[in-house]
Structure formats: structure tokens, C-alpha cells
Amino acid sequence: MRKLLRYWLQLAVTLAVCAFLVVPVVLSILAGITENFFVGLKSGFTLRWVIEVWNLYSATIWRSIGIALACLAATLILGVPAAYALARAQSRFTRWIEELLTLPIAVPGLATALALILLYGGWRDFRASWLFILVGHVLFTLPFMVRSVLAVMMAVDLKTLEEAAASLGASFRQRFLSVVLPNVRPGIVAGSLMVVTLSMGEFNLTWMLHTPLTKTLPVGLADSYASMRLELGSAYTLIFLVMIVPLLVSLQWAAARAERRGA
């Protein structure tokens, strides 16, 4: 009897936690497509808020997507070789390099943003361009790409595979293209999804670094919460969710695949 009671209690807590997490999201979605939030569902469904948000913020949304893709390109070019270095170099430096690259995520984004502004803020062109934001995003997402790729490299014992390829006569370039890259693909995919998801949702850094001409989606969200009616803020949030949820689901799937590869 006690066992059953314990089971139901655990289930109750679990469902309560789940409700706590899910209900606000549902509320937000509903608010974004309801005619009038205060009247409630009775006022009917409409897409006018969503359309209005799109008219107001489409430039911001496209900019966010652009920055996320640029961030992805940068982290691939910088991060995959760095992960390879950490996996193969096997020297005292590798631990330090890994620690260093993780620092930008160990300190609050606010601090990193302040630091960037204080050093580079005087450089007008840089400060006012979207590249300034891109730099912040790259600093923040690079460790995730490196970690994701490095994990797969270690799991498939890249060192031995490369030694085998070298014993068969393959040069460094041949090995990298035909053995290294194909075998770390799950890590690259998982890392890419992670980078794009993080960049789309990044706020702490971006809020400090942005200018009225270089707003991103989360910055726009903060604006709309502060200055606009609830339905608009909800509609904007809905658009954000529609973009981010598929990314998240793909990320979960890709991460599971990356883990299985190593087995």
C-alpha cells in the first residue's frame, strides 16, 4: 500500500512540474492568437497579431537568422580544427586551451559584453555593425561546437583510426577528408544545431551590444514586452517558439545519434 502511495505522490510531483513548465507556454501561444486576451478565448481566434508583429519586426527576425548562420559558419571554421587539435595534440597545452575557450561561458554574458564595449566601443564602424553582435555570439557558442565535436572524436578513438590510415600511406590532408570528417559528422551536426539554437536565443550579450539598427529577435521580444500590448508580445513569442522548437527537437535527435555513434 505504501508503495502505491509513493508512486502516486511521485507522479503528482512530476505532473505538477510538467504543468508548471508547459502551461505558461500554452498560455502564451493562446494569447498570441486570441482576439483579446482579457476577454479570453470567447473573443475568437485571429492571426492579426501575428501579422502585425511580422510587419513590425520582420527585418529583426531576418537579421537574427543571418547572424545565427554566420555564427555557424564561424564556429565551424574555428571550432572543428580546434577540436581536432585538442583530440590529437596530447600535450600539456590542450587542457589549458580547453579551459580558456570555455571562459566566455563561465562568466555572465553581461561581463563579456561590457568588456567588448569598453575596448572596441570607440571603433565606430565596428560598434554599429552586426559584426559586433556576431563576435559576441561566436565567443559564446564556440565552446559548444568544440565540445560536441571533441566528444565524438574521443568516442570513436580518432587517434587509432588516423594511425591506421597513416600506416596505409594516407597524407594528413587525405586522412582529414576521408577518415576524420566523415566519422565526426554526428558531432558536427549536433554542434551546429546547438550553435544556431543558442545564437537565435541569445539575449544577455546582445542586449548590451545592440544598437537601434542592429536588433535581434530576443531584443525585439524585450521591446515588445515592455512597450506593447500583451497580444503582440505573445504573438512575437509564438513566432519565436515556432522557429526554435523544431531546432530543439532536431538537436535532441542529433545529440542522441552522436552518443550512439560512439558505442
Q: Which stretch binds other proteins (CB under 8 A): 47-55, 64-72, 88-96?
A: 88-96
Is the Cβ–Cβ distance between 224 and 233 less than 8 Å?
yes
Residue 14 vs 58, nearer CB to other proteins: 14
Q: Is the CB of residue 145 less than 8 Å from the CB of residue 192?
A: yes
Q: Identify which range of 47-55, 58-66, 116-124 contacts other proteins by CB under 8 A.
A: 116-124
Cβ count near 107 (within 10 Å): 10
Give the Å distances, CA to CA, from 45 to 40, 171, 231: 10, 63, 12
Residues 15-44, one symbol each (x = binds other proteins by CB under 8 A, - = not), give --xx-xxxxxx-xx--x-----xx------
Q: Which of 135, 189, 190, 195 binds other proteins (CB under 8 A)?
A: 135
Contact between 4 and other proteins by CB under 8 A: the answer reads: no
Indicate whether 191 belongs to the interface with other proteins (CB under 8 A).
Answer: no
Rounded least distance, CB 131 to other proteins, Å = 11
Contact present, 121 and 54 (Cβ < 8 Å): no
Q: Measure the N-to-C terminal CA separation of the chain; round to a whole number of Å.
A: 41
Q: Should residue 65 be labelled a site residue for other proteins when binding is judged by CB under 8 A?
A: no
Q: Is residue 111 close enough to count as binding other proteins by CB under 8 A?
A: yes
Is 228 a residue that touches other proteins (CB under 8 A)? no
- Told to check if 1 binds other proteins by CB under 8 A, we report no
- The whole-angstrom separation of Cα 23 and Cα 34 is 16
Inter-residue contact 128 to 214 (CB < 8 Å): yes
Site string for other proteins, 153-172 (x = CB under 8 A): ---xx--xx-xxxxxxxxxx
Instruction: Give the SS3 label for residue 45.
Output: strand
Q: What is the radius of gyration, based on Cα positions, of the chain?
A: 23
Which of these ranges, 42-50, 51-59, 60-68, 193-201, lies near other proteins under the rule CB under 8 A? 193-201
Q: Report which DSSP code applies to 34.
A: B
DSSP 205-248: HHHHH--TTS--HHHHHHHHHHHS-HHHHHHHHHHHHHHHHHHH
Residue of the chain from 107, 128, 213, 256 that contacts other proteins (CB under 8 A): 107
Q: Within its chain, how far is the Cα of 238 from the centroid?
A: 18
Stretch of residues binding other proteins (CB under 8 A), selected from 42-50, 51-59, 65-73, 173-181:
173-181
Select from 39, 41, 43, 174 the one that contacts other proteins (CB under 8 A). 174
C-alpha cell of residue 95: 587542457
- By the rule CB under 8 A, 70 interacts with other proteins: no
Question: In the complex, what is the shortest distance from the CB of residue 175 to other proteins, in angstroms, rounded to a whole number?
Answer: 8
